[in-house]
Amino acid sequence: MTPINNIIVFILLLIAFACKKNQLGGKAEVKGYIKHHGKNIPYARVFIKFNAKDFPGNDTTVYDAKISADANAYYSIKFYKGDYYLYAIGYDYSIPPPYVVSGGTHVYLRYNEVKQLDIYVTEGD
């Protein structure tokens, strides 16, 4: 290879590895509330699956990361651009036991994009 070809290959590799995608910590953000029938669900957990458009299932061990909503059911997550599936699980003590509510949604984020996205949960799976 010529020196010019080596430089081109190096630059292409640098670009390929420098472009972060489908992970936490970027400049894009998703924020909102966890809701059940219009009621906020405080301290719900939000499980995050990277590079996913479809529901990965209710087995939370297959998710790549998780965060907790606050006392007002508010959550905020910083991402790099990409596709993510957000799956929330919480408790609504105003319904009959076992009180568990869950649900999720797909989100696609572009670089530096901020999205307001409430996650709606329901009884059962």
CA distance 73 to 41: 5
Asked if residue 8 belongs to a domain, the reply is no
Asked if residue 6 belongs to a domain, the reply is no
Asked if residue 54 belongs to a domain, the reply is yes
**Residue 86 maps to which CATH number?**
2.60.40.10
Asked if residue 83 belongs to a domain, the reply is yes
pLDDT at 4: 72
Asked if residue 74 belongs to a domain, the reply is yes
Lookup: tokens for 62: 């297959």
User: For residue 47, what are the domain limits?
Assistant: 23-123
Number of domains in the chain: 1
Asked if residue 15 belongs to a domain, the reply is no
Percent of the chain with pLDDT over 90: 80
From the list 125, 118, 112, the residue with the least C-alpha distance to 40 is 118
pLDDT at 16: 46
b/e per residue, 107-124, with b = 16+ CB within 10 A?
bebeeeeeeeebbbbeee
| Model confidence pLDDT, tens digit, residues 18-33 | 456 778 999 999 999 9
Give the predicted TM-score (pTM) of the model: 0.83
Cβ count near 35 (within 10 Å): 20
